[in-house]
Structure 1
Amino acid sequence: MVTKRYHVASVAPTTQTPTDQSVTTTTTQHATIPFRKQLKDEARKRKADTASRRRKEDNPKLNRWELTVGIEIHAQLNTARKLFSGAASTINDEPNTHVAHFDLAMPGSQPIFRKATLLPAIRAALALNCKIQRRSKFDRKHYFHWDQPAGYQITQYYEPFAKEGHITLYAHDGIAEEDGEQITIGIKQIQMEQDTAKTLSQPGDIHLLDYNRVGLPLIEIITLPQIHHPATAAALVRKVQVILNAVDACVLGMESGGLRADVNVSVRRRDGDVGDHEYGGVKGLGQRTEIKNLSSFKSVKDAIVAERDRQIDVLESGGLIEGETRGWTIGSTETRRLRGKEGEVDYRYMPDPDLGAVIIGDDLIDYLSQNLGVLPEQEVQALVGEFGLTFKDAASVVSLNDGGRYEYLRSVIDDFLLLSPDDDLKRVGKLCGNWVLHEMGGLTHPGADEDNPLGMANDGNCIIPHNQLAKLVYLLDIRKITGKSAKRILSELFVSGLAGNQRSTEDLVDEAGLWFSPLSNAEYEGLARSVIDLKVVEEILAGKEGKINFLVGKMMRKDGDGRVDPQKATAILRQIIDEFRKL
């Protein structure tokens, strides 16, 4: 940390207005929780949740109370400049090096709406099935905190640019089992707004502020309170992140600080004695609390569970739930009170007098709609329907490496089909998918990037060239090399790629002398006789034909080089067993 470039909260920082030449779009990630690790953690968590759901009938509290959740997702738009100033839109450079006068509310400075920020915002709204409003306006949301120099935040409270959207989640997205195969969650609105400064709290009640983040362009996605299970809430945030990345609206996700979630949590009795509150047009809800700034998918789920259980305990002990804002710390088991919940009156919303209305033409909406590209769900369906992957594997492929794993897989399949043009597409897709997702996913090396060991870019470029992996899988498929040899060559391709010395699959096979040499009949017979077990033979002769597979397995393990063909091994074993029939 370069502390000399931060400023204590009570001291006004210096400013720097960048020139056009200094403004660049940054996608550098400072990882907190790698997305690949989050996927693995979520998979393990889902397994644990299955056991937990089976014990639900033993927890009468969850049978008596219904959870309701609404989510507000704040995502940083992929733009070169901030929302109302010419400062660079970055969160990863040295603190307080991209700050314009307006970002600090210097007297006399005025907001200038950067029209380019509207393009990724509209792409995001279209991808989330929203209606784009031809006319929208900016409002001031007043509150006083050191992270907001002006004393107000510019947002779109009354007239947002997008409304009435929805997102459909499927079982393969990781929704709760109780939600069935799919569930659709409504999106009330999406609004543009500016971000606040980044606060880094230090010992001794010292708070350092980085004003690079002030004024960054955000969209706030507000869902309807239609979620009733923590796993589904986490799945929604995850899928929104994947969708925003796919349409190039927001390229920094939760794992790198570009996306944060606030969750509104309430509970009500299932026996008809419902609450008297209304949110987003949904009536009969309990008093809600808001948990702010959740920065991982796991945090979303864990915080909701903790707050749900806290509210149930309070209500069952005769207490009342207060409308308040609460916080969550990773690894904690309880939410904590931050402050009383502000309402519309507290924020004193008013139209911003310095900014005019934003008028969006039909031609712009039509153009962005036609050039939106393929959405993640369409990619998943294509991988399942056309290429034979399971929904689970397809969803993982689409989610990894900002879509790069999907692009890489498609290239590997194309290259394989050049080698075997008449092959079945689903068979090839399933075969290549296994290597791209599972075999490559297990590669590690001390010299590799922990977050992205394969060096996979979002366009599908990788340190293992896709044509070399396709060649490797093809050679294995036509039995020119064994499975054991193929894994060894994959590792060699990985290591040479890390060193910047890309090698060809065939050269590596040649050098290692790994070309497949099939066993002779005599070798098969010798191997078969070495695994014969008289007790197993007696069971086979007695009619337990399945036992022959046990002996085939022993032959394959004893060979060790992967040269045993199961069908030929079975035939040889049957010949030998027939000898026992004649005795």
Structure 2
Amino acid sequence: MMANLIWNILCTRCMRVIVNQKRHFVSEAKNIRALHEEKWLPVIGLEVHAQINSKTKLFSSALNKFMAPPNSLVSEFDASMPGTLPVLNKECVRAAVLTSLALNCKINPRSTFDRKHYFYADMPHGYQITQHWNPIAVDGKVTFPTQQGQQSLHIERVQLEQDSGKSLHDNEDNVSLIDLNRAGVGLMEIVTSPGLSNAEDACAFVNELHLMLVTLGTCEGKMSEGQLRVDVNISLHKPGEPFGTRAEVKNINGMRILHQVIEHEIMRQTDLLDHGLVVEQETRGYDDVNRTTYSMRDKEMKTDYRFMPEPNLPPLQLYDDLTIHNAGVDGINIDDIRREIPLLPAQLRKILGDKYKLNQKEIEFLLDREMVDYFIQVSELLPNTPPTQVYHWLKIKVVALLADNGLMMSQWPISAKDFAELMSLKENNEINDSTAYEALTVAVKEKTTTPVHVIENMGWKMISDITMISSLCCDVIVAMETENPAVFEKYNVNNVKSNKKIVAKVVGRVFKASQGKMHTAIIKKTVQGLLNEKYKTNA
């Protein structure tokens, strides 16, 4: 016993030492980081490549589709067959204009296409068609929420360009396999100014941009599928001095990874500069396993790309309300597209907070899961229902069923009207909570019916007729007395507390006998009334 006591004391003391050491190291790390931040100021700029949500590719009629069999969506132009020419996809142009307007950019009425020469095995042409000299839009601004409040970031340019194919490296057989399905898919490259200083704000900006693109419908934003990729440029400099040499980390496809990349790269460059070494201007990759960046190649200078005008594409001419009469049949009116801009995340936050009284956490939950429009539609159909109740139904029931069925919110098969009708049944006590969820589950799986139809067809509506409820309660009480004549001997009209277990047993039996079609609160009230009347002498 004494040995155990001594052992426990020693273990406790050891744990205290470990905890204190851990606190010391964490404190030291924070202090070191604070000293670095005083000495070196990070400067961060982003290049976001957003895959355009279009049916076909940017310059060919090949379909734009994820997870198709390798090399099954490749046109002659995508494969760089001799004699093939690019044909600009009007749908991609409209998407770029809509996105640029939402980013508060100035649209260039006349933009041009250029060739950016570099050789990759997954780019058959040996060059990428982009908009280097005259992009479709410039000089925008995005305001986004951060932990410190609202922040704005300048958008330098938005340009249309081709995506490359994919190289799949088989290290075991020492071969590389090429899939050209993605080659030629339309991209919007959104380039920011170097106006960020930490990983948190960079992630907050990308998150806001992601929400905007999804809201606009110009990009589905599935980072895991490569639909939104980020290149991050990071440099350090001392206060009051010019910006330092930047390093670029390419093809980041996740928020968590973006945060890790920036944190690591700031510490890596800080360590180099603190030891009097030089930061090389280079392109780096990221090793997610070891959480470190690694050198890929020296950063090419712009002259290395040998930019030249694309000879097979004329300048892209856009119009407005004043000049559209000069356009042909396929003319694109910037003002028409401006009128199509939906409510953006910043506006939606205000509406959800002011009109529907949701808090910030609830608002971001709906925005992140693309549920805002659905929430508003259901809430408008249920004016007497608190919006927070609609929110909780979405958070608990809909999110669970989306996950169970592998669906995105855009694939949710239940209309707002049908969902509101289901909620009305629950509010009117015509069904209970478990019935509502079961009906939703069936309707989501079948996709051809509604929750209310499921309830009606299955006969799941609650019994609300008091005579029927009272009759069933009487039958159960009589049955219990027959089984055990002494079951209610201890029932005391004046002692509600002591009656709880007895009443609960009866309620459980009645609920089971009704197949769950009676509300337990109504059953309990009825049972108490019947027992009080029958055993009123038990006082």
Per-residue deviation, residues 345-380 of structure 1 (Å, max 9, x unmatched): 221222223322111111300110012222232222
Tell me the residue number matched to 1:67.
Answer: 42
Could you tell me whether the CA contact under 8 Å between 1:463 and 1:494 is conserved in 2? no
Question: TM-score normalised to the size of structure 1?
Answer: 0.69
Partner secondary structure for residue 410 of structure 2: coil
Show the counterpart of 2:273.
Answer: 315
Q: For residue 320 of structure 1, report the CA deviation from its aligned partner.
A: 1.0
Mapped pair 1:410 → 2:360:
no
Q: Distance in 1 between matches of 2:261 and 2:237?
A: 18
What is the correspondence of 1:165-564 to structure 2 with a 5 Å cutoff?
Answer: 165-170=140-145, 175=146, 177=147, 180-203=148-171, 204-269=173-238, 272=239, 274=241, 284-363=242-321, 364-400=333-369, 403=370, 405-417=371-383, 423=384, 428-443=386-401, 448-450=404-406, 452=407, 456-457=409-410, 462-464=412-414, 466-467=416-417, 469-474=419-424, 477=427, 485-487=432-434, 489-500=436-447, 502-504=450-452, 507=456, 511=460
In the alignment, does 2:104 pair up with 1:135? no
- Deviation per CA, 1:19-70: give whole Å up to 9, x if none: xxxxxxxxxxxxxxxxxxxxxxxxxxxxxxxxx9998446334433322211
The answer for unaligned runs of 5 or more in structure 1 is 1-51, 275-283, 418-422, 532-560, 569-583
Q: Provide the C-alpha distance between the structure 1 equivalents of 2:267 and 2:360, rounded to a whole number of angstroms.
A: 32
Q: 1:281 corresponds to which residue?
A: none
The 1-side partners of 2:230 and 2:310 are apart by: 26
Aligned residue for 2:100, secondary structure, equals: helix
Output the CA distance in 1 between the equivalents of 2:314 and 2:106. 21
Q: What is the identity, as a one-letter code, of the residue corresponding to 2:460? A: E
Give the drift of 1:563: 6.9
Match of residue 549 from structure 1: none
Q: CA deviation at 1:182?
A: 0.4
CA deviation map 1:537-562 (0-9, x unaligned): xxxxxxxxxxxxxxxxxxxxxxxx99
Following superposition, the deviation at residue 100 of structure 1 comes to 2.4
Taking a change above 3 Å as real, the CA distance of residues 525 and 301 of structure 1, as seen in their structure-2 partners, is farther
How many Å separate the matches in 1 of 2:193 and 2:234?
12
> 2: distance between equivalents of 1:383 and 1:113?
39
**Change in CA separation of 1:497 and 1:345 when aligned onto 2, cut-off 3 Å:** closer
1:327/1:337 contact within 8 Å kept: yes
Question: Is contact 1:57–1:63 with CA below 8 Å preserved after alignment?
Answer: no
The letter of the residue matching 2:252 is L
- CA separation in 1, counterparts of 2:364 and 2:356? 13
Partner SS for 1:367? helix
* 2:69 maps to 1:94: yes
Whole-angstrom distance in 2 between the partners of 1:54 and 1:435? 46
Quote the offset at 1:395 in angstroms. 2.4
In the aligned structure 1, how far is the partner of 2:464 from the partner of 2:278? 73
Q: Distance in 1 between matches of 2:493 and 2:262?
A: 60
Identity of aligned residues (%): 30
Query: Would the alpha carbon gap of residues 365 and 348 (structure 1) be closer, same or farther in structure 2, given more than 3 Å must change?
Result: same
Question: What does residue 81 of structure 1 align with?
Answer: 56
Per-residue deviation, residues 184-241 of structure 1 (Å, max 9, x unmatched): 0110000111111111111233111111211111110001111112122122222212
Distance 1:488 1:376 in 2: 34
Query: Deviations 1:99-120 (Å, cap 9, x if unpaired)?
Result: 2222222333333333332111
Post-superposition offset of 1:488:
5.4
Q: Deviation digits for residues 137-178 of structure 1, max 9, x if unmatched?
A: 1111111221222221111111111000111101xxxx3x3x
> Using the alignment, how far apart are the partners of 1:156 and 1:502 within structure 2?
49
Query: Is the Cα contact below 8 Å between 2:118 and 2:126 reproduced in 1?
Result: yes
CA contact (8 A) 2:109 2:317 kept: yes
Bigger CA radius of gyration? 2
Deviation at 1:467, TM superposition (A): 4.2
| Whole-angstrom CA distance in 1 between matches of 2:206 and 2:291 | 21
Asked whether the equivalents of residues 61 and 312 of structure 1 are also in contact (C-alpha less than 8 Å), the reply is no
Using a 3 Å threshold, how does the CA distance of structure 1 residues 390 and 343 change in structure 2: closer, same or farther?
A: same
Cα offset, 1:273, TM superposition: 5.8
Question: Structure 1's 439 and 113: CA in aligned 2 closer, same or farther, altered over 3 A?
Answer: closer
Q: Which residue of 1 aligns with 2:534?
A: none
Partner Cα separation in structure 2 for residue 237 and residue 122 of structure 1? 19
CA distance in structure 2 between the partners assigned to 1:259 and 1:410 by the alignment? 27
| Offset, 1:416 | 1.8
